[in-house]
Amino acid sequence: MTPPAVVVGGSVAGLATASALAQRGVPVRVLERSAPPPDGPPVEVAASWRRPTVPQGGHSHILTSLGVRVLRRSAPRVLEEAMEQGAALVDLTLAAPRTGAEGGRGVEDPDLVALAIRRTLLELLLRRATQAVAHVTLEHRTSVRGLLRDASGTRAAGVVTEGGTQVPARFVIDATGRRAASASWLRRAELAPGNDLVGPTELRGFTRFYRLRTPRGTWPGELNRGNAAGGIWDHYAAVVHPADNGTFALTLAVPTGDRALNSLRHPGAFTTVARLSPHVAEWVDERVAYPVTNVRAITVPPNIRRATARSAGERLAGLYPVGDAACVTDPLYGRGLSLALAHAFRLAELLDAYPSVGEEQSARAVELAERVYGPWFEQAVHDSAARARRWRAHVEGTAPPVEPAAAPSGRPSMAEAAHAAATDPAVWHGLTCLLMGLRTPADVLDAPAFRERVRAAGPALAGRTSAPSRAALVGALAGVAGV
Ligand SMILES: Cc1cc2nc3c(=O)[nH]c(=O)nc-3n(C[C@H](O)[C@H](O)[C@H](O)COP(=O)(O)OP(=O)(O)OC[C@H]3O[C@@H](n4cnc5c(N)ncnc54)[C@H](O)[C@@H]3O)c2cc1C
């Protein structure tokens, strides 16, 4: 009898892949190293569920329009359940520039929505939906440490758990997150997985969740970023992401090298910076909201494209990474969950269409990973580097780097596109479709009409920001007791 597929890692990517495979009739065993979540009503469990093996789990997460589109098409029940449990679809077009003397709506696009939900609640609902699919078993407290190979040595034939149990598999999905365990499994099997592509993010993030005192569905301030309030400023970022049931997450991000601002884990320091930050201050007014968690800190991983998801190095047929195990992109752009979901459902489709484990299946899986992640990885590496250079210059007190007005290919920079998008609804639409993952950077930024409109808007005005300077923030923090 053919053994089941084995999915290692039972978080968003693993659960989505398992459920997609099982819906196509493939029996699946999910092996997850952490303990299961507690039982109980999802909204209550989401508030108390800790994920020690997913350090970013307690941080701010938004599901972009791409993620919503994937759920609408491939897991509509999860989206419906999310809405029933208090999540909200945020209409991004409300932030588009208005047109005409009456200020009419500049853009209408039903796809431009984001899902406001705590990550724990989304994961919990996905988990429950996956458990409800026939032929899926979820096994917790089971950590995988290695691979089984077939007699030819070219094919993954199963996995070995930390306890030494051998689990045969028709194929193995690595959904182990950013540490991508399959590279170490390959090395243990004396194969050379090749080199990963890596681009620095140089970012440290601080998040705190709050609950609004105002009636459900009314935000205390404008969502100037469409799905969020705040900004990525010239030396730090301060962004509010609305979530489910009147909760929201506030994230402050600073360069890893900025020792003076690394005290933000201290609640007094965090609140001080939040209250000085444009579009954010109104959300943390005590009369409007109160904190429901401590401030959580995380050093953000770099952008990574794993060799195991490219045609680099030695591979085994029947071993496929998905989600962060395939590619990590700078979380400041909020794309990880959406890309993981998109990859998961398309990978299941591919494995259904090419069920025979071997070279063709492997080659097609690599092509798929390239299509899903390639453009976003490149864009994230480019945008993270530009942002990190700008931020570093502020910390070091050197002149901010002058970004090239346009890339040699003639592609406008994100700053130029954002400048034009502030007044031109068509540019805003293209740029927001890109930011929300609905259209690739090349598709938007290389379109002649888009370029022409960006050019017509003139150069982006550098150096104008409504956010406090770094000196002002450092000065304000000096006055906070205990920091
Ligand atoms: C600070 C921060 C903020 C972010 N914000 C956003 C956002 O706003 N929007 C967005 O879309 N994305 C965001 N992301 C990215 C997002 O969190 C990831 O893309 C997403 O969690 C990837 O899901 P995954 O299932 O691939 O991996 P993970 O969620 O990391 O899960 C991996 C799972 O594998 C299990 N595991 C690991 N090793 C083993 C093993 N050997 N055996 C068995 N099980 C194992 C772990 O226990 C875990 O359950 C953010 C990331 C960070 C760091």
Asked whether residue 335 is assigned to any structural domain, the reply reads yes
Under 8 Å between Cβ of 111 and 240: no
Cα–Cα distance for residue pair 268/264, rounded to 1 Å: 8
Query: Is residue 132 within a helix (H) or strand (E), and if so which, with residue range?
Result: helix 119-132
Q: Do 168 and 207 belong to one domain?
A: no
Q: What CATH number does the domain containing 214 carry? A: 3.30.9.100
CA 251 to ligand 1 center in whole angstroms: 18
**Residue 406 pLDDT more than 70?**
no
Cα–Cα distance for residue pair 133/19, rounded to 1 Å: 7
Atom 11 (ligand 1) nearest CA:
337
Identify the DSSP state of 354.
S
Average pLDDT on 290-319 reads 94
Helix, strand, coil fractions of the chain, as percent rounded to 5: 40, 20, 40
What is the structure's pLDDT at 98?
85
What is the structure's pLDDT at 483?
76
Atom 9 (ligand 1) nearest CA:
334
Beta carbons within 8 Å of 81's beta carbon, 6+ residues apart: 125, 128, 129
Q: Do 293 and 358 belong to one domain?
A: no
pLDDT in tens, 184-220: 999 999 999 899 999 999 999 999 999 999 877 788 9
What is the structure's pLDDT at 464?
59
Give the C-alpha distances (Å, rounded to integers) separating 450 from 314, 420, 445. Answer: 41, 10, 7
CA 138-66-435 angle, to 5 degrees, is 130
Cα–Cα distance for residue pair 251/203, rounded to 1 Å: 12
Confidence of residue 463 (pLDDT cuts 50, 70, 90): low
Average pLDDT on 253-268 reads 91
Confidence of residue 398 (pLDDT cuts 50, 70, 90): confident
Give the C-alpha distances (Å, rounded to integers) separating 75 from 66, 110, 114, 341. Answer: 13, 18, 16, 10
Under 8 Å between Cβ of 480 and 269: yes
Q: Do 151 and 232 belong to one domain?
A: no
Asked whether residue 459 is assigned to any structural domain, the reply reads no
In testing the pocket of ligand 1, which one of 6, 7, 12 has its CB within 8 Å of the most ligand atoms? Answer: 12
| The token pair that represents 477 in the structure block | 């923090």
CA 303 to ligand 1 center in whole angstroms: 13
Give 265: exposed, middle or buried? Use CB within 10 Å, 0-12, 13-18, 19+: middle
Q: Looking at the 3D structure of the chain, how many domains does it have?
A: 2
Q: How many residues does the structure list for the chain? A: 483
Other Cβ atoms closer than 10 A to 366: 17
Other Cβ atoms closer than 10 A to 84: 10
Selection from 236, 239, 242, 226 nearest residue 281 by Cα = 239
Q: Do 264 and 151 belong to one domain?
A: no
Under 8 Å between Cβ of 279 and 221: yes
| The domain boundary residue, chosen from 335, 363, 379 | 379
CA 179 to ligand 1 center in whole angstroms: 9
Asked whether residue 406 is assigned to any structural domain, the reply reads no
pLDDT in tens, 274-288: 999 999 999 999 999
Cα–Cα distance for residue pair 378/360, rounded to 1 Å: 26
Q: Looking at the CA of residue 178, tell me the nearest atom of ligand 1.
A: 30
Q: What CATH number does the domain containing 355 carry? A: 3.50.50.60
What is the structure's pLDDT at 99?
77
Q: Give the whole-number percent of the chain exceeding pLDDT 70.
A: 96
Asked whether residue 78 is assigned to any structural domain, the reply reads yes
Ligand 1 lining (C-beta closer than 6 Å): 8-14, 31-34, 53-54, 56, 59-62, 143-144, 175-178, 181, 205, 298, 300, 323-325, 331, 334-338, 340
What is the structure's pLDDT at 208?
98
In testing the pocket of ligand 1, which one of 6, 17, 51, 54 has its CB within 8 Å of the most ligand atoms? Answer: 54
Mean of the per-residue pLDDT values of the chain: 93
What is the structure's pLDDT at 312?
81
Lowest average pLDDT, out of 102-111, 144-153, 451-460, goes to 102-111
Q: Do 279 and 314 belong to one domain?
A: no
Cα–Cα distance for residue pair 209/249, rounded to 1 Å: 4
pTM, rounded to two decimals = 0.96
Asked whether residue 443 is assigned to any structural domain, the reply reads no
Other Cβ atoms closer than 10 A to 63: 30
| The token pair that represents 249 in the structure block | 């997450």
Q: Do 205 and 190 belong to one domain?
A: no
Cα–Cα distance for residue pair 7/319, rounded to 1 Å: 10
Q: Give the sign of the dihedral formed by CA 51, CA 53, CA 55, CA 56.
A: negative
Range of the domain at 322: 5-89+115-198+303-379
Average pLDDT on 71-94 reads 97
Per the listing, tokens 């520039």 go with 97
| The token pair that represents 73 in the structure block | 């098409």
What is the structure's pLDDT at 462?
62
Give 38: exposed, middle or buried? Use CB within 10 Å, 0-12, 13-18, 19+: exposed
What is the structure's pLDDT at 311?
82
pLDDT in tens, 14-68: 999 999 999 999 999 999 999 999 999 999 999 999 899 999 999 999 999 999 9
**Residue 404 pLDDT more than 70?**
no
